[in-house]
Structures are given as structure tokens and as C-alpha cells.
Chain A
Amino acid sequence: MIRVRDVTHRYDKQVVLDEVGLTLPVGQLTSIVGANGAGKSTLLSVISRLIRPEQGTVFIDDLDVGTAGADAISKRLAVLRQDNRITARLSVIDLVRFGRFPYSKGRLTPEDHVVVEEALDYLDLQLFRDRYLDQLSGGQRQRAYIAMILAQDTDYILLDEPLNNLDMKHASSMMTLLRRAADELGKTIVLVLHDINFASCFSDHIVAMRDGKVVVQGTPAEIMQRETLREVFDMDIHVQDLHGMRLGIFWTTGAPVGPGPVVAAPADASGAELGTVSRA
């Protein structure tokens, strides 16, 4: 269980986290959503002891993140930040092997190698295993980082915008993979996501942040409401139910509502307001 108690953090004078309290149960997939600058990354960094907050405490089970050594936490929690830039020319396989560092300290056992190979398989990286990181595309590199995190094989996995740079296929298989890790292996997974529909379809729990505060949290069904989303994102998002998936239609603000063919090309472009969609 992750318990965040009364965490406040400031940059200069700006309050970035404002007395945040949060409890995340074990074995669930939680998504944190919110606008740019809402404080999601800061919260994730505080939970994973990458940032020491001005005030407040974080517990991972019985471990106080503020006082436990980096080493103890590294076997229980793995974290990947939003922007990663490794300047070293490391190969993918070397990077993923470093995921085993908390256990092996550099001397890999046969089991370590098995875990590494699995991580490479999961993220579809076997073809690139001997490439240097700087010879990969952005999405391939993102997958390599996540493979390293998976190789760390921790109970808690925290990923800040893991779908960054991923194509649709890899984004959806990434979410499926994380969902399975929660269901089958009992991992506790916390993600920062911008795509509310991925959050809606794959999470057990959604935490919505705004201006350094948790404004609302709950199940996808509870969060995926037009009113709630307006409160969080300042945007009119129509929510539709499709075979039990609650999907927010956010590409164009404020509708379309109702089924059927919805788009009709405006006969007179000058008369039509840009971005409006006529209803059938």
C-alpha cells in the first residue's frame, strides 16, 4: 500500500503540491490524470523518493520513503520519469541488465538473465538488443527504459507517461501488459497518463489532479463523467459508453452526441465555423 500523507512541495514560491493525501491499495492499476503543470510528475517523484518534499511523508507498506535507504526501496519500487536522456552509449541489453542491479550488484545470476530476456520479449526488443540507445527511435528507446524497469521486478511500478512516443499498437500492448502485471502478478502500478481513454479502459482507480491538489478520485465509471471531467480539465468532454468502455470524446470539444454518421462536409467553407461538426 502506498500512503501519501499531507505532502506539500514548493518550487521557489509556487505551491506545486498542496497538502496531498492519498492511499493506493496493493495490486491495483492507478492512473493519475490532470492538465500540464497540475503536479502529477512532482507527486510521482515524491512517492518514489526522487524528490524530497518540503513537508509530509510517504510510506510504501511499512517503509518510510523519506528515511529508508535508496537500496531498500529499489527492490520494492521502480520508477521511470517523464523525460529520460541517457548520454552514455549503452546497448539495450546492458541497460536492461542494469535493471537487475539492486539484486545482483553487477554480477548477474542465471535467473537474472532469464528475467532480462523476459523483459526484452515483453517489450518487443529482441531485434534491437545490441543497439546503442542513441541508435533507437524515440518509442523504441522508451520501450527499452520500461524493459529496464520491468527487469527490476518490483512490487510497485511507477511510470510517468509511459506511452510517450509509443505508436498505437505498442501503446495498447503496453497497457495490456501492465494490466496483466497487476492482475496476474499482483503488482501495484501507478501511471501518469494524458489519454483519459487509456486511463478509463485499463485502470482500477483514477486520481485527478489540478493545481497541486487531488480534486477527485475514484473508479473509471465515477471519473468519466462530463461534469467531473469539466472540473478537472476545464473542457467540455462528451462521454460515451461503448460496450462497457467509457470513452471521452475530447478531440473536438463539446460533442458530438448520439450515434450515426456525424460529419458532413460544410458546403460553404467560409460560412462554417472552423471545428464545428454538424449533427446528422
Chain B
Amino acid sequence: MTTTTTRPVPAPSRGGVRAVHLWVATGVLLVGSYLSLGIGAASSVGVADLFPPTADEWHILATSRIPRLAAVLLAGASLSVAGLIMQRITANRFVSPSTSGTVEAAVLGILIATMLFSSTSLVVKMLIAIVTAIAGTIVFLQMLQRIQHREGIVVALVGLMYGGVLAAITTFVAYQRDMVQYLDIWTTGSFSGILEGRYEPLYIVLVVGVIGYLFADRFTVIGMGESFATNLGLNYQRILYIGLIVVSVMAAVVVVVVGAIPFLGLIVPNVVTLLLGDNVKKVLPLTALAGAGFVLACDVVGRTAIHPYELPVATIAGGIGGVVFIWLILRSAKGASV
């Protein structure tokens, strides 16, 4: 008998993102999207009319339902990707645009824009909201760098309270200017007002999303810590700030057009990365698809649950998101590797 020393064959790669994940997710999302076009206030256009639509039906689709669908998909994808990037560059699972003051700062920005210019265009609001969102997130990051145990739940608490403070300031200012009724629109995300001509700036998130994808590996590297990043030749602070700007722009644009959708940027990337790991480049596309799908589902439920009335998407996403958020916290409190 001969003894041969063969190298043990490495186990076939389990886990991780594979092409099949992406294809399945894309397929499900496409079918879901198409069917969702059959839902709306004008009950003359139903799912059955989509195969194919008449000219009249097409008009409703083009002016209302397709814009709404596009807004749903873009908002869901971009807030989720924003959360993914934020969690990686801060190396903390509990950081997201709605748990770090980014969204609240953007709302404050919209309020300021509305106060300063009486007839404010969407674009001006957006620019000011982007600036305040970036500033607000920088302040959060500064606080974060002073916290000793950066990976813990403490960070989420600090972020939520900081967001609370910003929201309180916003409410205070709004009361003084008699503008409280607007706040609801910005803080409670809803797609009911999305029509052709009133949502197109949302496409900016596509551009920013591509930038985010191009920097994906750099975000992963700085998520390994400053020493690893420096060793691999990256300027840690610079990449951190690029990530922060990408995230803030995405969040601010969505808040301006749609309003805030709580916890979306927290739970979608968390679920995706728990299943498939934290390599940003690998999970970013799937996170975008999952986020879009999640918001689409929330929106469909919101439109059908109490038909002909509508529940804002923020209410549904907030309800589900809150539960998942608590589950994540309990999970990490139990000592699961965060």
C-alpha cells in the first residue's frame, strides 16, 4: 500500500453572493414591479389591463403609476445602500441614515430652505438638505470617534438621541414660523404625491449609487480599521468622508422627494449582510434589490390594506423595521457576533 500525501481538497465555497442570488432577486423584483402597476386609486386600470394597456390606460400608467413605481424602487434601493455603506465605514451594524441624525438634519435643511425662499423649487430644497445632511452626519461621526466601544449598541442610542435633538430643534423652529403642518410630509415618507414631473430629481441617487459602487472596496477596507486601511495605501479619513457624502446625498434626496422611511437603511443591509457577509462590493447590488423589493412590498400593502385609502409607506416600514431593529439589538445583546 502506498501512502500518498494529498492536500485536503478545500470544501466547495458555501455562502457568499452568487450570480443566482442576483438573478432570482432581479426576476422577483421585475414581476412584482409589473404587477404593482395594476394597483392604484383609479380602479379602471387593474392588473388584467396591463396585458397590454390601451392608450387611456397607458396615460394613467405613464403619469402616475410608473413614476410612483420608479420612486419606490429608487428610494428603497438608495436608502438601503446608504445604510450598507454607513455600517461598513463606521464598522457598526446599528448605524444608518435614520439612526445617526442624517435624515433629521436633511429635514431641518428642507425647513430652512422653505423658510428662506418662499417658492422653493425641489432642486434648491434638495441642495440645502444635502448640505445640512452632510453637516449633521459629520457631527455624528465626530461623536462616534469619541466613543470607546464603537461597535456596540451605545452608538445606536447616541444616534437616535442626536436625531431626536435635531428633530426637536426642527419642530421648535417650525412652530415659530407656523409651519408644523409641513413637517409631517417630510418626516413621514409616502409615495402618494409622486406624479410625473415631481420626482425626477430622485434619479440623482443612481449616479451617486454608481459612485458608491466604484468605492465599494475602499469602504470595505476602511471598515477593517485605520491601520489596515493605511497599510493598504488608503487615506482613511478621505475615504470616510467620501462615504459620508455618498450616504448623505442619497438620504437627503430621498427625504426631499419622498420623505423619511424609518429603519429601512438599518434593517435591509443588516439582513443581507447577516446572510451573505460584509464585502460591500459583493453585497451592494443585492442590498439595492432587496431594499427596492421591501419598499415595494410595503407600498403595495399600504395601498391595498385599507383601500381606497392609503397608509403611508413610512408607517408600514417603520412598524416592520422597528420590530427587526429590536430583534437585532436583542441578538447582539445576547452576545452574537455583531
A interface, CB within 8 angstroms of B: 48-50, 69-75, 78-81, 84-91, 94, 98-99, 101-102, 105-106, 126-127, 129-130, 132, 134, 149, 152
Contact = CB atoms under 8 A, between A and B. Distances in A.
Contacts of B221: 98, 101
A87 B151 contact: yes
Interface string B299-338: 0000000000000000000000000000000000000011
**Majority secondary structure of chain B interface residues (helix, strand, loop or mixed):** loop
B23 interface: no
Contact of B220 (A49, A90, A126, A127): A90
B28 interface: no
Interface string B219-246: 0110111111011111100000000000
Interface of B: 7-8, 10-11, 13-16, 88, 91-92, 151, 216-218, 220-221, 223-228, 230-235, 273, 277-279, 281, 337-338
Contacts of B234: 70-71, 101
B220 A98 contact: yes
19 contacts: A69-B233, A72-B233, A79-B231, A86-B228, A87-B92, A88-B223, A98-B221, A98-B224, A101-B217, A101-B233, A102-B232, A106-B281, A126-B7, A127-B10, A127-B11, A129-B13, A130-B11, A130-B16, A152-B231
Given A90-B277, A106-B281, A126-B7, A70 B224 contact: no
Contact of A127 (B8, B230, B279): B8
B151 A130 contact: no
Contacts of A78: 231
A157 to B, nearest CB: 11
A79 B232 CA distance: 9
B220 A88 contact: yes
A88 to B, nearest CB: 4
Contacts of A74: 231-233
A160 to B, nearest CB: 10
Contact of A130 (B8, B14, B279): B14
Contacts of B231: 48, 50, 74, 78-80, 149, 152
Contacts of B226: 50
Given A69-B235, A88-B279, 20 more contacts: A69-B233, A70-B235, A72-B233, A73-B233, A74-B233, A78-B231, A79-B231, A86-B224, A86-B225, A88-B224, A91-B277, A94-B277, A98-B220, A101-B233, A102-B233, A106-B216, A106-B281, A130-B14, A130-B16, A152-B231
Contacts, number: 98
A154 B151 CA distance: 32
B279 to A, nearest CB: 5
B227 A49 contact: no
B210 to A, nearest CB: 15
- Nearest 5 pairs between A and B by C-beta? A74-B233, A106-B217, A88-B278, A71-B233, A102-B233
Give the most central of A49, A75, A78, A88: most B CB within 10 Å.
A88
B232 A101 contact: yes
B174 to A, nearest CB: 39
Contact of B233 (A70, A94, A126): A70
Nearest to B92: A87
B8 A126 contact: yes
B281 A129 contact: no
Contact of B15 (A79, A101, A130): A130
Nearest to A105: B217
Give the most central of B216, B231, B232: most A CB within 10 Å.
B231
B273 to A, nearest CB: 7
A89 B8 CA distance: 25
